[in-house]
Structure 1
Amino acid sequence: MVFSDLLFLFVFLLSCFIIYFAVKSIKAKNIVLIVYSLIFYAWGEPIYVCLLLLSTVVNYICGLLIDRYRDERGAKLTIASALVFNIGLLLVFKYTGFFVENINALLGTSITVPNIRLPIGISFFTFQILSYIIDCYWGKVEVQRSYPKLLLYISLFPQLVAGPIVRYSTIEKEISSRRSTAEDISEGLTRFIVGLSKKVIFANGLYAVVEELLGAYSAEVAYLGSSFAGKSFFATTLGVICFALYVYYDFSGYSDMAIGIGRIFGFRFDENFKHPFVSKNITEFWQRWHISLGSFFRDYLLYVPLFGKRRKYLSLFLVWFCTGFWHGASWNFIIWGMYFGAFVFIEQLIGKKRMKKIPVVLTNIYALFIIIIGFGIFYFENLKDLGTFFKNLVFANGNSFIEIADRAVALENIFLIVISAICSMPILPWIKKKLVNRPKLAVAASYATTVTSVCLLIVCSVLLAENASNPFLYFRF
C-alpha cells in the first residue's frame, strides 16, 4: 500500500482518521495508530511484520539493559550487541547479494547469490532504531519503559517505509501527550495534498519522460535499459535533468505526505527538504536534500573518535561512503556518495569565506552542474551504462547532438518540465513572507489555499483512477 493509492486515501487513511479522533484517551489513540501501522506494513510485507516486531522487542530490551547497567561494562556490552544486531539485519537483507556477487567476481568462485527480498523501509526504520538506542546510551533521551510506545515510534506508518528518519527525541513527548488542533489538521491536510500532487502530477509525469529519453527505470530494480549507447547528447542531458526533478518530487512528495499525516495526528516531524536546487554549493545542497539522513550521519558517525588526528577527513570519507552505500547495494551508489563527498571536501579546503567571494550566479551554475551529473551516476546501476552516460556527454560514442524523436519528446512535455523546474524553487515561502504585513491579502490567500487544495485532491484522484501510480523510488531503500 502506498500513499498515492485510492485504497489508501479513501479507505485506509479515512477510516484511520475517523477512529483516531473518535477515541479520547492518548492510550487508545496510540493503539489505533499501532494497529493501522502494522496493517499498513503487512499489506506489502506480511512476513516482515514479524521482523519489525522482533527488532522492536530486541531494542526495547536493550534499552532497559542500558538503563539498568548505566556507566558500567554491561551498558557497553549491550550497546555493542544492539549495534551488531541492527546493522547486521540491514547488511543481511540488503547487502548479502552484493557481497556474494563481488566475492564471486574477485575470487572466481561460483557461490549462489541468495534471492533475499528486501523488507520495505528497512534502511529507514533501522536508522530510527539506532538513533533511539544510541541516544539512550549517550543519555540524551530517557529509556522508554512502555513497549507499546516504543513500538508506536518505530512502526508509525507515515514515515515507516520512506522517511523522513524521525529521531526518538523529536517525538518523545508527543508519544505520551499530544493534541491535534484545528490548525494542525488544516495545515496537515494541506501539506499532505501538496505532497500527493508532487507525486501524482509531477513525479509520475516526469517518470514517463525519463523512460522515453533514457530507458525504463523501475523503483524496485533500478535502470532496466539496454540500448542507452547512441542516445543523443540532448536526450542524455535532458533525461538526467528530468530524473533529478523526478527524484526530488517523488521523495519530497512522500516526505510532505508523511509530515502532513503526522501533523494531523499531533506529531511534528522535522523537515526533510528545503528547495535543494537553489543551493550555491554542494555542502549547502546536502543541508537541503534528505536532511534527516545527513543529520543522522553527522550526529552519529562524523564525530566518532576512530581515526585520531586525521579524524576529520577520514570520518568525512566514511560518512560519504556510507551515504552512498545506504542508498543501494551497487557500486554506482558508492561512487555517487564519494563523488559528492569529494566536492564537499574540496569546498572545505577552499573555505566558506573564499566561496562567498565567488559571484552567486557562478556558484549556482557550478552546484547545479555537479548535482545533475550526480543524478546521472545515481541513475545507472550498471557501470558499463554509467560509462556510456559519460561518453554520451562528450560525444565519444559517435552520438548526435539531438534526434528528431528527442525533440518531439521535449516539445510534448515542455510545459511539465518548465513548471516542474519553476515549482522546485522557493516560491511559496517567498509569497508567505510578502503576506506577513498584509492581513487582508493573507486571508484571501488562506481561502485560495483551501480551494486550490480541494482542486488538487480532485485532480490527483481522477489521475489515480485513470492510471495506477508508480511506486515511490525510495521504497527500494
Structure 2
Amino acid sequence: MVFNSLEFFIFLSVVFIVYWFFLKKTTKGQNIFLILASYFFYGWWDWRFLSLIFLSTVVDYFIGLRIFHSDKNSSRKLWLWGSVIFNVGLLGFFKYFNFFVDSWIEACQLLGYNIQSTFTLRILLPVGISFYTFQTMSYSFDIYYKRLEPTKDFLGFAAFVSFFPQLVAGPIERASNLLSQILNRRSFSYDQCVQGLKLILWGLFKKMVIADSLAPIVDDIFANYSTYPASSLILGVTLFSFQVYGDFSGYSDIAIGTAKLFGIELMSNFKFPNFSRNVAEYWQRWHISLSTWFRHYVYIPLGGSRVSKLKSVRNIIIIFLVSGFWHGANWTFIFWGAFHALAFIPVFLMGRNTIYKHSVVGENSVFPSFIEIGQVLLTFAIITFSRIFFRSESITDAFNFIKGIFNNFSYEQYMHPMGYRMIDYYILLAIFVLYEYRIRKDERSPFKFKSRYVRFFVYTVVILAMLLFYDSGFDRSFIYFQF
C-alpha cells in the first residue's frame, strides 16, 4: 500500500474515523488500534515480514529494560551490543548477504580461484527494514547513554516501532520525540489536521507531478546512456536530482501530514536542500533524520569534532561510507558516500560546516545575492554529479556515464520517450523552484498566504496539475522503499 494510491486513502479514512470517533477517550485503545492498523498497512506488501517488526520490537523492548536495570557498566554495554548485533544482523542478512557473498567470490576470482556462486540465496528485501531497525536501535542507545528511561508499556513501544506513517521510509524517529507522544494522551485539533492535509497535498504534488512525471525521462536516459550525447546525460542526472527530491521529500511530507491527523508531530526530514550554499548545509537539510542519527550514534561516539583534525576527518569518512552502504548493497552507494566525504572534508577543514546552520539563502531579502546564487548552483552541481553513482546500476555504468559526459560533449535536443514536449517540464521545474524559494523559511507551511482567495487558487492549480500529470503510474512506488 503506497501513499499515492486509492487504497491508502480509503485505509486512512477508516483509521481516522475509528481513532477519533470511537477511541478518543482511551490512549491505550488508540495505541492498540494504531498497532493493528500499522501491521495491516505493512502486511499489505507481504504479511510474512510482520514477524521481523514484531521480533525487533520484542528484542529492543526487553534489552532497553535490561540496560536500564543493569548495575555494572560491562553488563549495560553487553546488552547494548546485543541490540546492535541483532538489528545489524537482521539488516545485514536480508539486505547484504548476497552482496558479501558475491564480493567474496569476485575477490577470489581476481586471485585466480574459480568459485561457483552456490552460496547466494533468493532473499526478498523487507520494505522499510533499514528504517525501523535504526529506530529501535536508537532506543537502546538512548537508554545506554542515559538520555532516556525505558517504558514499561509494551503496547506503547510497539506502536512507536510500527507507526505506519513513517514505518517504511522515515523519518527515523527517536523515542524522546515519538514514543513520548504515543504514551501521552492526544486530543483532536482541527488546526493540526488542516496543517496535515496541506502537507499531504503538497507531498502528493511533489511525488506525482514532479517525481513521477520526470521518472520516464530519467529511466530512459540512464538505461540508454551510451546512445545519448553529453547534453542529454547532463539533463538526465539533473532531472534525477529533482526526481529523487520530489519523491523522497514528498513521502516525508505525506508522512508528517498523516501523523498530524492523529495528533502526533514527526520531525522535519527535508528543509529545502536544493538551496544549500555548501555541501555541509546540504546535509543539514537533506534526510535530516538519517544524518542526525549518524551524528548522534556514530560520529559523536567516535569523538566527533572534539578530537584532532585528522581523527575528525577519519570520523567524517566513516559516517559517509556507512551512510552510503546503508542505502544499498551495491558498490555504487559506497562510491557515492566516499564522494560526499571528499566534498564535505574541505568545507570542514575551512571551518565552514556550520556557518549556514541557522539561516536560509536570501535570509533578509527578497532575492538572493549573486554570491549566494553561485554557491547554490555550485552545491547543486556537486550533489547532482554524485547522483550518477546513486542512480547507476553498477560502478561500470557510473564511470561510463561520466565518460560519456566528458568524451561526447555535444548538444542534441532531447526528445521525450512518450513524445511529450520537454519545454513543459522545464517550465514546471522553474515554477516549482521559484515557489519553493518563496516558502524556504518554513517547510511545514507550503500554502501560507494571507488571502484565502490566493490559497484557493494555489490549491486549485496544485490539484489540476496532479490530474494533468498523472498517468497509469499513479501508484508508482517511492524510490526509498528499496532502501
Task: Tell me, yes or no, whether TM beats 0.5.
Answer: yes
User: C-alpha displacement at 1:465, in angstroms?
Assistant: 7.7
Q: 1:421 to 1:282 in 2, by over 3 A?
A: farther
User: What are the Cα deviations for residues 232-279 of structure 1, in whole angstroms up to 9, with x where unaligned?
Assistant: 111100011111100000000000000001111111111111111111
Partners of 2:200 and 2:257 within 8 A in 1:
yes
Q: 1:170 to 1:228 in 2, by over 3 A?
A: same
Paired residue type of 2:242: L
Note if 1:326 corresponds to 2:326: yes
Secondary structure in 2 matching 1:321? helix
Partners of 2:324 and 2:337 within 8 A in 1:
yes
User: C-alpha displacement at 1:448, in angstroms?
Assistant: 4.0
Structure 1: distance between partners of 2:103 and 2:458: 51
Structure 2: distance between partners of 1:75 and 1:55: 19
Structure 2: distance between partners of 1:132 and 1:371: 32
Paired residue type of 2:39: L
User: C-alpha displacement at 1:362, in angstroms?
Assistant: 3.0
Matched with 1:111 is 117
User: 140-149 vs 349-358, which deviates more?
Assistant: 349-358
1:262-411 map, 5 Å = 262-305=259-302, 310-352=310-352, 359-394=371-406, 396=407, 399=408, 401-403=410-412, 405-406=414-415
Identity %: 33
1:176-255 map, 5 Å = 176-177=183-184, 178-212=186-220, 214-215=221-222, 225=223, 227-255=224-252
Structure 1: distance between partners of 2:458 and 2:394: 42
**What 5-or-longer segments of structure 2 have no aligned partner?**
110-114, 357-368
User: 18-27 vs 304-313, which deviates more?
Assistant: 304-313
Matched with 2:79 is 78
User: What are the Cα deviations for residues 400-455 of structure 1, in whole angstroms up to 9, with x where unaligned?
Assistant: 6233554898981322233224424533426989x9xxxxx95524x543564477
Structure 2: distance between partners of 1:31 and 1:354: 42
Partners of 2:66 and 2:79 within 8 A in 1:
yes
Secondary structure in 2 matching 1:2? coil
Matched with 1:218 is none
The two structures, once aligned, show a CA RMSD in angstroms of 2.8
Note if 1:415 corresponds to 2:412: no
Structure 2: distance between partners of 1:183 and 1:142: 32
Structure 2: distance between partners of 1:278 and 1:358: 13
Partners of 2:320 and 2:337 within 8 A in 1:
yes
Note if 1:29 corresponds to 2:27: no
Partners of 1:56 and 1:154 within 8 A in 2:
yes
User: What are the Cα deviations for residues 370-420 of structure 1, in whole angstroms up to 9, with x where unaligned?
Assistant: 1110111211131221111111111x2xx4623355489898132223322
Structure 2: distance between partners of 1:424 and 1:101: 42
1:58-69 map, 5 Å = 58-69=59-70
User: What is the aligned counterpart of 1:260 among 232, 257, 261?
Assistant: 257
Structure 1: distance between partners of 2:95 and 2:393: 15
Matched with 1:143 is 150
Q: 1:432 to 1:338 in 2, by over 3 A?
A: closer
Using the size of structure 2 for normalisation, the TM-score is 0.87
Secondary structure in 2 matching 1:56? helix
Structure 2: distance between partners of 1:422 and 1:180: 36
Using the size of structure 1 for normalisation, the TM-score is 0.88
Structure 1: distance between partners of 2:419 and 2:294: 39
Secondary structure in 1 matching 2:212? helix
Matched with 2:364 is none
The aligned length equals 455
Matched with 1:473 is 479
